[in-house]
Chain A
Amino acid sequence: MEKNNIITTMNLSKCYNGKTLVLDNLNIAIKKGEWANIMGPSGSGKTTLLNILSCLDRPTDGSVIINGTEVTRLSQDEMAAFRRENIGLVFQQYHLIPYLTALENVMLAQHFHSMVDEKEAKDTLELVGLGHRLDHIPAHLSGGEQQRVSIARALINQPAIILADEPTGNLDRANGKIILDLFKKLHKKGHTIVIVTHDPEIGTMGDRLIRLMDGRTVNEKVTAL
């Protein structure tokens, strides 16, 4: 196990109801600052894997080490605390709070993390290009803009790792490109990024592509280093 691996899974398996084997003995290592894409057919276990890497879900077997911590040993509360500190999540459905403004949605993550800092929240929205949309509620934002708010929310507490499940899945090409440019920017700044995607174009963008098929990795290939 290399020292500069920020995420390592060892013999990771996930089984639902004691029979449906969704993840089958996965051994994956992702380096610090790496951009890894996960692709695979529907139902191959991508979201399940990402949930486990996000410390939202637990594997049936095996262990996960993130940033030197064996997260699979953590209690529920410790897992939540670990998520707050280390992981930024971006969802396909954005999952913004509908009655809070863009700024408030970002500040909510600050509130859960520690203390709210309006200036920092504004700066982060600025970073994703929404400095002029601070006081809009999600319903008054386009899908792309909503996704950028959710990226700002994921970034606000400076997590080392950003995990995104089909972040462009609901967006058109132009908006998808804006989001991808954002991820490139973050990648350059040194964030570790893991993106689950169906988009082959995105698949070629990261440092490497992890292909999942029936819960196993296939043909893992390194696109760049």
Chain B
Amino acid sequence: MVSTLVNIALDLNGKVAKELRAFGANLVLLPDDIRENNGQLISMDEIDKLKDTGRINDVYGYAPYLYSIGKIEEQNVVIVGGQFENIKKISPWWKVEGSWNNDNSDESTIMVGNKVAAKLGYKIGDTVTLNIREETDKKESFTEKTDKTEKIPVDGISSASQSLNGDAAKRWPLNILSEMNQGKYTPKQFKLVGTVSTGGSEDNQVFIKLKEAQLLFGKKAQVNLVQISVLTNKNPIEITASQIEKQIPGTKTRILSQISKAEGNIQDKILFLMVLVTVLTLIGSGLSVMSTMTTTVLERRKEIGMMKAIGAQNKKIAAIFYAEAGAVGLIGGIAGYILGVLMAQIVGKSVFDTFIGFHLAVIPVTLVSTVLLALISSKIPVGQAVNIDPVITLRGE
């Protein structure tokens, strides 16, 4: 039991951190203010630096996004260009009916949010005509309306940090939808391969492959933002954030603090619970060792009386029983360790859907603690053994 808990506890931080990835990215990478004023986005080359584990630690996964505005049958929609393999990794809660866009295929495919699909009555396999708003001039797009739009992404992100989903980072283009009614639109046909349900803003968006989006939006090898999922079990997220800003000049990061905090909180709570269970288990096993040893001493009181009668020192009698208790503790520890590893696997599989790693350090910890526990719990029974009066026990038939 104890062994199970220690094993799980050691592995827990990593597991929970990964588990909570399900809440989405906890860091968003954006162009800094200067770039934004110039209408400059983030380039794909810059994003590749996130893979440099030598300079940037703890990045679990990331997904770049490029946004634009379009219409389907006169309905305004946000068009999202994304890398779907990456989205799968950092946003595993996306439910997709049909299939995902294949990042590597040349076919023009589209996924639509389930609300879009419902509204327009689209089914998988249909052909969707997407009217993409033309970017006549780079400066004319979001960034031209400096006063308003410049702040919007930031507000969008900070509201994302208040929502648990973290996907609200992508919600900001919605705010400017109403202002996007004028302009020229170019039609383009896509094959509908899947519908997306997240319960969030994605339900109202449509998704095409990032490469195709970059081509169609005239933003070659560029993206608006990158959602990053950072592991927080080793270092505070701020460290990773500043590493990224340093390695990719001209960008800024926004920490979706709620998520990171939730992560830390839940880990603390689970850890506390585990410690509590461990302590209670130790007390429980201690009591059971104590009652077992008391029974042993009672059963063998004649033996003990005889030993005392033939002149055994108290400490030698105590040593016999402590050795016995220690051996029981050791055997219990070994059995417990084996059971513990198995149980940790079962818990790991059912709760975290992964196997809990082996921690060699658990072996000595388990054995030392079970032996110690056995010895400490035997103190009272051994005291009883030592105090046995041979005159009385030898008399009894």
| A residues lining the B interface (CB < 8 Å) | 47, 51, 54, 56-57, 77, 80-81, 83-85, 87, 89, 91, 93, 95, 97, 108-109, 111-113, 153-154
Instruction: Tell me which of B302, B307, B391 contacts A51 (CB under 8 A).
Output: B391
Q: List chain B residues, Cβ under 8 A from A109.
A: 310-311
Distance to closest chain B CB from A152 (angstroms): 12
Interchain Cβ contacts under 8 Å between A and B, 7 examples? A56-B390, A56-B391, A95-B302, A95-B309, A97-B306, A109-B310, A113-B311
Distance to closest chain B CB from A162 (angstroms): 12
Quick one: closest B residue to A156, CB to CB?
B310
Q: Is there an interface contact between B397 and A112, defined as CB atoms closer than 8 Å?
A: no
Instruction: Tell me which of A85, A87, A91, A111 contacts B316 (CB under 8 A).
Output: A111
A91 to B307, CA, bound (A): 13
Q: List chain B residues, Cβ under 8 A from A84.
A: 310-311
Q: Is there an interface contact between A80 and B316, defined as CB atoms closer than 8 Å?
A: no
Q: List chain B residues, Cβ under 8 A from A111.
A: 316
Quick one: closest A residue to B306, CB to CB?
A95
| B residues lining the A interface (CB < 8 Å) | 302-303, 305-314, 316, 390-391, 394-395, 397
Q: List chain A residues, Cβ under 8 A from B310.
A: 83-84, 89, 109, 112, 153-154
Q: Is there an interface contact between B303 and A80, defined as CB atoms closer than 8 Å?
A: no
Given contacts A56-B390, A91-B394, is CB(A97)–CB(B303) below 8 Å?
A: yes
Q: Which 3 A-B pairs have the closest CB atoms?
A: A84-B311, A112-B312, A95-B306
A112 to B316, CA, bound (A): 7
Distance to closest chain B CB from A81 (angstroms): 7
Instruction: Tell me which of B309, B316, B395, B397 contacts A89 (CB under 8 A).
Output: B309
Quick one: closest B residue to A81, CB to CB?
B311
Q: List chain A residues, Cβ under 8 A from B397.
A: 93
Q: List chain A residues, Cβ under 8 A from B308.
A: 80
Instruction: Tell me which of A56, A57, A112 contacts B313 (CB under 8 A).
Output: A112
Distance to closest chain B CB from A25 (angstroms): 21
Q: List chain A residues, Cβ under 8 A from B390.
A: 56
Quick one: closest A residue to B307, CB to CB?
A112
Q: List chain B residues, Cβ under 8 A from A93.
A: 394, 397
Q: Is there an interface contact between B313 and A80, defined as CB atoms closer than 8 Å?
A: yes
Q: List chain A residues, Cβ under 8 A from B314.
A: 77, 80
Q: Is there an interface contact between B311 and A95, defined as CB atoms closer than 8 Å?
A: no
Q: Is there an interface contact between B313 and A83, defined as CB atoms closer than 8 Å?
A: no
Point out which of A54, A85, A97, A112 has the most chain B C-beta atoms below 10 A from its C-beta.
Answer: A112
A93 to B397, CA, bound (A): 8
Given contacts A108-B307, A112-B307, is CB(A95)–CB(B313) below 8 Å?
A: no
Instruction: Tell me which of A77, A81, A83, A113 contacts B309 (CB under 8 A).
Output: A83
Q: Is there an interface contact between A80 and B395, defined as CB atoms closer than 8 Å?
A: no
A93 to B309, CA, bound (A): 14
Q: Is there an interface contact between A54 and B316, defined as CB atoms closer than 8 Å?
A: no
Distance to closest chain B CB from A60 (angstroms): 14
Q: List chain B residues, Cβ under 8 A from A81.
A: 311, 313
Point out which of B311, B313, B394 has the most chain A C-beta atoms below 10 A from its C-beta.
Answer: B311
Instruction: Tell me which of B305, B306, B395 contacts A47 (CB under 8 A).
Output: B395
Distance to closest chain A CB from B320 (angstroms): 9
A113 to B311, CA, bound (A): 7
Distance to closest chain B CB from A48 (angstroms): 9
Distance to closest chain B CB from A3 (angstroms): 26
Distance to closest chain A CB from B99 (angstroms): 71
Q: Is there an interface contact between B309 and A54, defined as CB atoms closer than 8 Å?
A: yes
Quick one: closest A residue to B300, CB to CB?
A97
A91 to B137, CA, bound (A): 112
Distance to closest chain B CB from A145 (angstroms): 18
Q: List chain A residues, Cβ under 8 A from B302.
A: 95
Q: List chain A residues, Cβ under 8 A from B306.
A: 91, 95, 97
Quick one: closest A residue to B305, CB to CB?
A95
Q: Is there an interface contact between B391 and A80, defined as CB atoms closer than 8 Å?
A: no
A87 to B308, CA, bound (A): 13
Distance to closest chain A CB from B12 (angstroms): 45
A91 to B308, CA, bound (A): 14
Q: List chain A residues, Cβ under 8 A from B311.
A: 80-81, 83-85, 87, 109, 112-113
Q: List chain B residues, Cβ under 8 A from A57.
A: 391
Q: List chain B residues, Cβ under 8 A from A83.
A: 309-311
Given contacts A108-B307, A112-B307, is CB(A95)–CB(B394) below 8 Å?
A: yes
A57 to B303, CA, bound (A): 18
Distance to closest chain A CB from B322 (angstroms): 15
Q: List chain A residues, Cβ under 8 A from B395.
A: 47
Q: List chain B residues, Cβ under 8 A from A97.
A: 303, 306
Q: List chain A residues, Cβ under 8 A from B394.
A: 56, 91, 93, 95
Q: List chain B residues, Cβ under 8 A from A112.
A: 307, 310-313, 316
Distance to closest chain A CB from B74 (angstroms): 93
A81 to B309, CA, bound (A): 10
Quick one: closest B residue to A93, CB to CB?
B397
Q: List chain B residues, Cβ under 8 A from A54.
A: 309
Point out which of B306, B307, B316, B391 has the most chain A C-beta atoms below 10 A from its C-beta.
Answer: B306
